[in-house]
Structure 1
């Protein structure tokens, strides 16, 4: 697919949109090199990579791509023995950290049972290089400066520098504060010239201080003099700075040598980071243009439903349905200028190239795209001024080149084929060219003004007419593509709307031959039938929608009635059981009194007690067979969802529903056991209201950024501790009784640090590890005071 085709189909403009979502220059370089794949397997793999990227964004909201730098030049210079600057070394360290964080991010998602095979394949090849990252960050700070702690020698020499500077400044400040010397100074300050401390002295007093003149003001009235009394001290300071520079260079050379040892791994990591940045760039772009994954085939068949051109704003674009390669392999589009024919052509071509590049498409679900070996296009006025070619000659030059290269795996797009010459000859030539393309087996979409081509599709199998709709009432195009209907002439209708004399219009109609009038009548009839069919479809859809709403409402009413019936039955049972228990308790009291009387000497036989107790037990109401059946059906009708608290009747224990096994059974967590339980053997347990701890309540507007959980995964230790402290304060102000600190499992260092901090924090009441459904050891649940 040559550069000219990519330009006329605006593929390069689309890539500029794509670049806006790249996180680094590595990703942008990959986009610059992007071209459509011509192999179905390769295109499908790229589509799957994009799909995995969109899955990550859907589940996590974003991917941690910050810190990625292009370090190829740095690594190359280190490889040949060059010394890297501190900021270059920090870019190396930042890139190592970014690769390690992204690797951990993807691997953690896979551990959480998210299927990301292609992403996992990429990140598994990343080498962490933690030692190199640590060595650089122990020597260079975030501002790109070599730290004192980089070596004992550097710490010592910098301490010497600070001491010498203090001595020099102290000596000069004593000098400028002297009342006898102040009149000789232009200003009572100590400044620096040529890396030496000096004072500003008036020109006429230049000999009063001795020493060295380093500079003068632009007027010459002020000299910057290093007094003789501090020359030796400044010399000592200068020597210390030379030692500092030498030690810094030694440290940088040592770090550069460390980078040199890992050049292969760093280049490999950068290659994989470029792939990952590019992959997520495609995912972000898909989200931005509301795109979906198309099915791919290599059979020359595409079907774009509600397709939108990605370069036209969503507020202005009119979605179209366009298809090719199934019932017909050639599509001829007719219609007025500015009606959308060229946009339709470009949309079909650009979406095809995007699909072959592994990009999602701005279309509806269930759309399909084809993988072609070549896409050819002759669109727009491509005449060459240098060659002095006319419009027709320019188009014909392009068409000749296209016809020499097409085959059955090509997609060909012709805009205004045959235009720019005599209409009769142009139409005849257009028909012949279309026939030639059809015979090669290539897939074709062509636009034209010629009325002779309106009947083209009716005489040839595998060719379909289409048109862009025009609203005569508003005298404007609707930009809708109508497949199966050729474009009708609107000249007479528009003239009538604009008020042209009817006699003139009728005389013009007589000039058109009978065959053309018959074609126009046929097209008009087809257009009217299409409008009627669309109206009937709209009405049918409305009726269906109303029926579905009515059905849904009836289902809700039936469910509400069943729930009410069940509730009343349960209340009646509970009331009856309460009355019986009350009567039994009263009877027990009477029997106890009788026994007390018996002990006091009254004669009461034992079998009388037994008969009385048996009669009380038999007085309890029994459920009828019908009531038992209704109760059993009500238990069966209960539906349970994962996470529901239930009581297993046969065990008499409470548990939590994990998942639905089938229509009759659920998997339930009972203590440390997981058991399959029938629905009829369970009942839901009503959740008891959580009692809030009694404490003063501060009314605070809960900001949207204060969430009930804090995710620390991927953060450095110091950053994480700072985040936890700030978050706990925000959570207390927001009024949260409980929050979750998500630190992951990892090496355990971050988890241990969080636990220690929480023990000492005054706002923390108690902590516990997360449950099975709360992330386990990777999550700490915090009860706040």
Structure 2
């Protein structure tokens, strides 16, 4: 009895899941996806597809979609399934000993050829491990293809090359037909007065001539037909009948030889039926991956991060069915919405006016969960995070049933009862979507029942989303941290919904204000206000209004902050460019000054030599010696004192010292020193930069110098030059950072590193990756930069090889 009861529960669970999937309009979405298939059987695969309930299957589907998506983006032309036919039925006929015609055999040959070409394009275990895992099962049937294409012409006719006997029979057949044609022409020439028309007709494959009816008795032969008027008969003359019989016999022999070949080829298909069926299934699987990829691109989807955790993060999500309506039927562009559900939230109450988009939001999350399970990308502006959810239960729409004698309220309650029972037998993560919970009955009882149900769902389900008009449900968040409020945004100026969601804020009641705007008598509205609890309603509405205003302020501040960050990045790039220019210019000036100083020193050396010669001259007087001494002193002052001054005013910079950056003409503070690279990391305002000893000086003009250090035998560098295995030590994660922030973190890692460094930057908009790649390529100690393996991050991770 227990086993029967359990089996019954499983059946009802399955039925309820299927019903829920139907309420989310999954079949409509499948029809739209199927339109992106390349072949008719590819469309059927999509339409018959059942959403997997196991995480590993969904993960594999998503990986296959990602791999084939990246491949087609990088190819010069689209991946083609031209030449792939539905061959399964014909293979089945052959496997049972049947014989198929030449056109069907040619389709099998064409499919074999197409499979070989697709395997060349798709198979790559390094770049596409998931696609390659099933493509490796494609057996090369080139021998079968060669036999079939050698024996069958492109129009489906069996070729003379297929058999020498067939070629001889056909040649003999042509000869006999030629002989018959001569006899027919001779008969026409000899009997022109009796013939109605010289055109040779055909009846049942036999040549006939139109003879006037009055001369029918004149000729022997077979009358095959007569005209509608009865004035003409169609005669096969006796002299031609015998030749026709021989031709018919020859045609039968040709047909027999052709059938013999078809039977032989069909037996080849029979002997290889399993591998050919496997080939067809593999091709369908590859096409399904391509179909998912093309549809995902068309809706502007991003590959989701599917996890076994109750976290939902969908930024700028648009319902795919509304995207279809917009693109295919020129309907209004759907307004994107956001979903933020953390691991502590169990129930989300969505409130707001009718036609405001509550139900669409509910269905949107449901369809996104189904898409994630099916290996599809989700239409959102950022990489979505969504749980793997094998249990989705939905109560949306009018469940009134005249046949079952159920009211709308009863229909909803019956389905909720079934959902609660199914949750007791569920395995894995569960999401419940309820539209207008507790509606259809007395508001006070409906409110009480809705609160009780939602508290129960908070226990038995992982996430529950419920739309409602009941005000008391809004207050649950403030007494139970498992609850969250979301409201549909409403424009008070136009009194129209905005179709967007405000998270953390309950919806306000707009019934009276809308009624006033429409023109309901003010006396009636005043009476309605008196029936409400003025203070409570006013206080709640004021709180909600304050929350909405605070949200708008925060949104404005966030936008201003984003604008400021963007301007700062632009300024940083400008300063960096100017710094590089000034640095290059400073080197040129230093070189010119060195050359100038060298010239002066040479001149001074020559003058000193001349003065020494003059002192050695025997005719030099004491006055000459005094004047020469004065001049030597001047030379010493001009050319030698400078180096002494440099020696006395030089200093060894330390961490914490304030210095003057020459190229920027501004001050900064030393925060780190790399003695081996002889470089300094300097903080100037909010920016950091690495400078050499020639790029700065002391605040009073002191010249910096490095202390002579003893040779160090030991090394603190992390050397991974002999290891190409990714570990936590040779991996750095900079996702979510801006380019200049990531540069600082990576540069710090470089100082104590050697070998391959995995830099995880994510995919996103691609700006971070592009900026880092450009910067890394400019560093002379970076040997090369390349994308990581797919199992190590793929396009979302770069490997920098440090010299």
Same fold at TM > 0.5? yes
Aligned to 1:231: 241
Note the 1:11-30 alignment, pairs <5 A: 11-30=26-45
1:620-639 correspondence to structure 2 within 5 Å = none
Task: Give the structure 1 partner of residue 393 of structure 2.
Answer: 376
Residue equivalent to 1:401: 418
- Are residues 1:533 and 2:587 paired? no
Give the drift of 1:539.
3.0
72, 76, 79: which one pairs with 2:92?
A: 76
The aligned runs of 1:580-619 (5 Å cut-off) are none
TM-superposed deviation, 1:255:
0.5
1:375-454 alignment to 2 at 5 Å?
A: 375-407=392-424, 409-454=429-474
Deviation, 1:541, is: 2.6
Structure 1 residues 504 and 259: CA distance shift in structure 2, 3 A? same
How far the C-alpha of 1:139 sits from its partner, in A, is 1.0
Note if 1:545 corresponds to 2:562: no
Pairwise CA distance, 1:340: 0.4
Secondary structure at the counterpart of residue 69 of structure 1? coil
Do the aligned partners of 1:342 and 1:415 also contact (CA within 8 Å) in 2?
Answer: yes
For residues 408 and 352 of structure 2, the distance between their equivalents in structure 1, rounded to whole angstroms, comes to 21
* 1:202 and 2:219 aligned: no
Instruction: Quote the residue 1:727 is aligned against.
Output: none
CA offset digits 1:36-90 (Å, max 9, x no partner):
3333233222211111111221122432322222322222221221111112211
Between stretches 390-399 and 520-529, larger displacement belongs to 520-529
Instruction: Give 1 or 2 for the bigger CA radius of gyration.
Output: 2
Aligned length: 587
Matching residue of 1:644: none
Per the alignment, residue 673 of structure 1 pairs with: none
Give the secondary structure class of the aligned counterpart of 2:466: strand
2:382 is aligned, of 350, 365, 368, to 365
Instruction: From 261, 278, 283, give the equivalent of 1:268.
Output: 278
> 1:10 — aligned with what?
25
Where has structure 1 moved over 4 Å in runs of 4 or more? 499-504, 553-571, 661-667, 677-682
1:112-131: CA deviations, max 9, x gaps?
xx511111111211111111
- The separation in 2 between residues aligned to 1:247 and 1:141, in whole angstroms, is 16
Relative distance call for 1:680 and 1:76 in structure 2 (3 A) is: closer
Q: Deviations over 1:497-524 (max 9, x none)?
A: 3455655544432321032232122112
Any conservation in 2 of the 1:324–1:330 contact (CA below 8 Å)? Answer: no
Distance 2:519 2:152 in 1: 81
1:679–1:79 Cα change, 3 Å: closer
Distance change (3 Å), C-alpha of 1:212 and 1:302: same
Aligned to 2:138: 126
Q: Which residue of 1 aligns with 2:487?
A: 467
Alignment-derived partner of residue 579 in structure 1: none
CA distance, structure 1, for counterparts of residue 558 and residue 521 of structure 2? 38
Question: Do 1:26 and 1:277's aligned partners in 2 also have CA atoms closer than 8 Å?
Answer: no
- Residues 1:47 and 2:52 aligned together: no
SS at match of 1:304: strand
Question: Is 1:488 matched up with 2:508?
Answer: yes
Stretch deviating more after TM superposition (124-133 or 355-364): 355-364
* d(CA) in 2 for partners of 1:443, 1:462: 10
- Contact in 1 for aligned 2:106/2:149 (Cα 8 Å): yes
C-alpha contact (below 8 Å) 2:316/2:382 kept by paired residues: no
Alpha-carbon distance in structure 1 between the residues aligned to 2:297 and 2:186: 68
Other-structure match for 2:151: 139
Task: Return the alpha-carbon distance in structure 2 between the equivalents of residues 138 and 145 of structure 1.
Answer: 11
Report the Cα distance in structure 1 between the residues aligned to 2:342 and 2:225, rounded to whole angstroms: 83
Is the partner of 1:481 in helix, strand or coil?
Answer: strand
Residue in structure 2 matching 1:310, options 317, 320, 324: 320
Pair 1:290–1:563, CA change in 2 (3 A): farther
- Conservation of the 8 A alpha-carbon contact between 1:406 and 1:442: no
The reply on whether 1:339 has 2:356 as its aligned counterpart is yes
CA separation of 1:492/1:561 partners in 2, compared to 1, >3 Å: closer, same or farther? farther
**What is the alpha-carbon distance in structure 1 between the residues aligned to residue 100 and residue 279 of structure 2?**
19
For 1:355, the equivalent position in structure 2 comes to: 372
Q: Distance in 2 between matches of 1:11 and 1:203?
A: 71
What is the DSSP-based 3-state SS (H/G/I as helix, E as strand, rest coil) of the residue aligned with 1:456?
A: helix
Q: Which runs of 5+ in 2 are unaligned?
A: 1-13, 327-331, 595-642, 644-662, 664-678, 680-689, 692-746, 757-776, 783-803
Structure 1 pair 565–89 and aligned structure 2 pair: CA distance change class (3 A): farther
Matched with 1:191 is 201
Q: Secondary structure at the match of 1:187?
A: strand
Q: Residue by residue, what CA displacement relative to the aligned partner does 1:575-619 show, whole Å, maximum 9, x if unpaired?
A: xxxxxxxxxxxxxxxxxxxxxxxxxxxxxxxxxxxxxxxxxxxxx
344-353 or 234-243: bigger deviation = 234-243
- CA deviations 1:529-551 (Å, max 9, x no partner) are 22222223223333333343444
Q: Determine the structure 2 residue equivalent to 1:87.
A: 103
Change (3 A) 1:506 1:544: farther
Change (3 A) 1:84 1:336: same
C-alpha distance after superposition, 1:437-483 (max 9, x if no partner): 11224310000111222212222121001011111222221110111
CA distance in 1, matches of 2:74, 2:586: 41
- Preserved contact between residue 30 and residue 47 of structure 2 (Cα < 8 Å): yes
Deviations 1:344-368 (A, max 9, x none): 0001011101101222211233311
Instruction: Return the offset for 1:557.
Output: 5.8
Give the SS at the match of 2:484: strand
Distance 2:335 2:289 in 1: 29
Question: Is it true that 1:164 corresponds to 2:176 in the alignment?
Answer: yes
Q: 1:455 is paired with a residue of what secondary structure?
A: helix
Q: Is the 8 A contact 1:666 1:679 kept in 2?
A: no
Alpha-carbon distance, 1:247 to partner: 0.6
Distance apart, 1:412 and its partner CA: 0.6
CA distance in structure 2 between the partners assigned to 1:218 and 1:426 by the alignment: 83
Q: Secondary structure at the match of 1:226?
A: strand
Mapped partners of 1:679, 1:488: distance in 2: 57
The unaligned stretches of length 5 or more in structure 1 are 574-624, 638-660, 668-676, 683-785
Tell me if structure 2 keeps the 8 A contact 1:665–1:679.
no
Aligned to 1:519: 540
Report what 2:801 is aligned to. none
Q: CA deviation at 1:167?
A: 2.5
1:86-139 Cα offsets, whole Å, 9 max, x none, are 1221122122122222222223x55xxx51111111121111111111111111
Q: Equivalent residue for 2:528?
A: 508
Contact 2:314-2:339 at 8 Å conserved across structures: yes
Counterpart-to-counterpart distance in 2, 1:457 and 1:226: 98
Distance 1:39 1:81, change over 3 A: closer
Residues 1:194 and 1:487: Cα distance change in structure 2 (over 3 Å): same
Change (3 A) 1:666 1:42: closer
CA change 1:553–1:207 in 2 (3 A) is: farther
Q: Aligned partners of 1:378, 1:420: CA distance in 2, in Å?
A: 14
Aligned equivalent of 1:768: none
Distance 1:569 1:188 in 2: 108
Cα displacement (A) at 1:215: 1.7
